[in-house]
Amino acid sequence: MSLLDPAPDDAPGPDDPDAAGATLGLRVTQPRPDAVVLTASGEIDEATAAHLEEVLAPRLVAAVRMVVLDLSEVSFLGVPALQLLTRAHLRAREHGIELRLVATEHEVARALRIAKLDAVLSWYATTTGALAADPDESA
């Protein structure tokens, strides 16, 4: 199953001055019945974090065991994104769902380390690795 999630109707368009730097692509797949993969591309900042949360939040209460958030195509992770990841981690735990991250971009990894989220979130080099790994095998 694959779903390309379009931007909301009120999202800035290509001719809108607010569109500069506000690009976030999201793709949802379900590679197996107990896992959902949400792949993000672009920048996650103040302008785009709410859209990511709209797409991610319902998956954190779904009938799955694991949600993998693939950030390997994300070039920037701002403070709103770090706050979102903290909330998402807590919400997933409340519902018995494991939230796993895929992060390979240097700037994204650096932001996770500075916020000390690398200590609380399971983090993998690839989506395949995140789906296959035992919970104690994060990067």
- Reading the chain (139 residues) residue by residue, the pLDDT tens digits are 444 444 444 444 433 434 444 689 999 999 999 999 999 999 999 999 999 999 999 999 989 999 999 999 999 999 999 999 999 999 999 999 999 999 998 999 999 999 999 999 999 999 999 999 875 555 5
pTM of the model as a whole: 0.81
Does 3.40.50.300 match the CATH number of domain 24-129? no
Q: Are 27 and 38 in contact (CB under 8 A)?
A: yes
Q: Any residues with CB less than 8 A from the CB of 66 and at least 6 apart, and which? A: 34, 35, 36, 97, 98, 99, 100, 131
